[in-house]
């Protein structure tokens, strides 16, 4: 194994540790009305909370699923009162989805938990190291393939 492969393996190991610790942080979410949300449901709530309302086809594209699979997720979230559907007045075939007030509340809980995790990560670093970490993440993110 050459040097970059060894470093890549070490990086993956650290990412796995961080993911495991993040899962522990998500316990907060379970205790706040979110016990039966699966990962896809939570992802849709986060996306709608950050990006705002969108059409079903836009949603499906963003979460990399077919419209029929995205519809199943939205059906669950509508049944729970977290998402609402609205047909376009211009084109009745177009359905837009958005968070309800309860969905926005759940998004707030989720986002606050993510921010607390991010603060815990950054808290281990001084200001200069925090800026370096963010710069490195931005550099890595911009170099990764989009699809």
- Tell whether 14 is covered by a domain: no
CATH number at residue 103: 1.10.10.10
- Tell whether 74 is covered by a domain: yes
Range of the domain at 64: 37-143
**Mean pLDDT score of the chain:** 88
Mind listing the pLDDT tens digit for each residue in 54-94? 999 999 999 999 999 999 999 999 999 999 999 888 888 88
- Tell whether 103 is covered by a domain: yes
117: CB partners within 8 A, 6+ apart = 22, 25
d(CA 20, CA 9): 17
- Tell whether 27 is covered by a domain: no
- Tell whether 43 is covered by a domain: yes
- Tell whether 70 is covered by a domain: yes
Count of domains for the chain = 1
Q: Which of 109, 123, 134 is nearest to 26 (CA)?
A: 109
Contact 98, 86 (CB under 8 A): yes
């Amino acid at each position: 194994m050459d040097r970059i492969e060894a470093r890549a393996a070490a990086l993956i190991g650290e990412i796995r540790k961080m993911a495991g610790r993040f899962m522990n942080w998500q316990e907060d979410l379970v205790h706040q009305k979110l016990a039966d949300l699966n990962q896809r449901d939570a992802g849709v709530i986060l996306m709608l909370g950050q990006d705002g309302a969108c059409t079903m086809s836009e949603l499906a594209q963003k979460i990399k699923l077919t419209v029929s699979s995205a519809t199943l997720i939205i059906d669950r979230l509508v049944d729970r009162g977290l998402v609402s559907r609205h047909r376009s007045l211009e084109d009745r075939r177009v359905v837009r989805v958005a968070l309800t007030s309860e969905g926005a509340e759940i998004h707030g809980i989720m986002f606050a938990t993510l921010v607390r995790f991010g603060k815990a990560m950054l808290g281990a670093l001084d200001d200069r190291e925090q800026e370096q970490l963010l710069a490195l993440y931005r550099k890595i993110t911009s170099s990764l393939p989009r699809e």
